[in-house]
Amino acid sequence: MPEDFGADNPRGLYFIADLANTVQGDPEVGAPALQALLAHHGGPPFTLSGDDARQLRVAAARLIRILETDDEDRAAEAINGLLDEYPAQPCLVRLPGRPWSMHAKAPRGADPAHWLLATCALALGLWLGERGRCAWGRCAAPDCDHFFIDTGRRTPQRYCTPRCATRVRVAAYRGRRGIDETEPGSVY
C-alpha cells in the first residue's frame, strides 16, 4: 500500500479508486502511466516492465470486481480469497503527526501485482470491517462511471466528486424548469 496516508485518504484507498478508474478508462494502460500513478500515490519505486503492467492490469481487474459490489458478504468473500492467495504482512506504522495505524507489507521480493493484491486486499478488508459495509461505489451520474471511496459518515455517497453531484443537481433543476440546455445564451 502506498505510504500516502493523508488525513483524507483512508488507508491509501484513494490509490485503489484511482487505479481502478485508470484501468477502466484505458484497459491497455502501459507501464509508464502505471508507474506514474504509483509514484503519485507514494507507492514503492517499482520499475515496471511491459509484463508487470499486464499483470497489474489483470490484478486491478480483480480489485474492480470488488469495488463493483455493494454486497458486503460477497465483498468479504472476494477479499478473503485475495488474502489467502496473497497474504500480506500487517505492521503498525506511525507516520509523522499521526496515530499508529495498521499497514500492509508485501512479502520480500514480491512482484508488483503480488504487492498490489496483498496490500489492497488488507486495506479493503480493514475498511470493510471498520465501516461494516461496502463503503465504496461507482458514480451515479449518468455519464460518469468512476469509482470512489465513500468516506462519509451519514448518508452513503452516490457521486465520485462534488462536481458530478452538482452536475446532476443542475440537470435535474433544468429538467424541472424545462430549460433547454442547448438554448443559446442559457446560463450554466
The site string for Zn ion over 27-46 (x = CB under 5 A, - otherwise) reads --------------------
The nearer residue to Zn ion, 5 or 148, going by C-beta atoms, is 148
Q: Which cell goes with 35? A: 508507474
Segment contacting Zn ion (CB under 5 A): 85-93, 95-103, 117-125, 142-150? Answer: 142-150
The nearer residue to Zn ion, 62 or 146, going by C-beta atoms, is 146
- The total of other beta-carbon atoms located within 10 Å of residue 171's CB is 15
> Minimum CB separation from Zn ion for residue 150, in Å?
13
> Minimum CB separation from Zn ion for residue 33, in Å?
21
DSSP string, 144-171: ---EEE---SSSPP-SSSHHHHHHHHHH
Q: How many residues bind Zn ion (CB under 5 A)?
A: 6
**Whether 64 contacts 24, CB under 8 Å:** yes
Task: Give the separation between CA 26 and CA 23, rounded to whole angstroms.
Answer: 5
Task: Give the separation between CA 1 and CA 23, rounded to whole angstroms.
Answer: 18
The nearer residue to Zn ion, 29 or 139, going by C-beta atoms, is 139
Task: Give the separation between CA 83 and CA 140, rounded to whole angstroms.
Answer: 30
Beta-bridge partners for 101: 93
Q: Establish if 141 lies at the interface with Zn ion (CB under 5 A).
A: yes
> Minimum CB separation from Zn ion for residue 164, in Å?
3
Between residue 146 and residue 185, which ones bind Zn ion under the rule CB under 5 A? 146, 160, 164
Binding Zn ion (rule: CB under 5 A), the pick from 23, 88, 116, 139 is: 139
